[in-house]
Amino acid sequence: MNKKKAHRMTKQRKVILEELQRYGSHLTADELYEKVKKRLPRISLGTVYRNLDLLVSEGLIARLRGDYPQMRFDPRTDEHYHITCLSCGKIEDAPIEPIQDPIKNLENVVGNLTKYGVFGHKLEFVGFCSECLKKQETSRNESSEAMKQEETQEAPQKEAKV
């Protein structure tokens, strides 16, 4: 008889959940705290952390585990994949529906080919988000332009020496 104690949905908990769902971008506790504080100015960071832990234990949100500098939280608790920007660290949901998921088939094959009872997998896509790609392209263009200007300034000097 090990029953989980159900916790009531306090105003603070409700606002934290609403803000996470509103932004839905896998926020850190600190980022969420800044958003919640606008609606509940007297809330503390500790309260946000405790409520996030409670919401995770209740199954209302998910804690993302990965190589992130800070823990992140996901308003989606269903099975889905993420894509992470290697430059800015932004995390988004990958646009793969579980119905189309070839990884599930791979999970079954691996289970059949090994002596493991496979019951899950972890998969994260990595790359560069559109904002970081634009910044990289802009940076490349600026570098290219600077090199061209440098070359045109050096050309007359070389001719003068000859």
Residue 70 within any structural domain of the chain = yes
73: which strand partners? 63
Total domains in the chain come to: 1
Residue 25 within any structural domain of the chain = yes
40: domain CATH number is 1.10.10.10
Across the chain, which has 162 residues, the per-10-residue mean pLDDT values are 68 94 88 96 95 94 81 89 87 78 76 82 86 87 72 62 56
C-alpha distances in Å from residue 28, one per residue of 8, 71, 94, 114, 128: 23, 6, 19, 37, 20
Residue 161 within any structural domain of the chain = no
Domain that holds residue 63: 1-77
Predicted pLDDT of residue 1: 46
Residue 131 within any structural domain of the chain = no
> Alpha helices, DSSP H only, in 58-129?
102-113
Q: Whole-prediction pTM value?
A: 0.70
Residue 139 within any structural domain of the chain = no
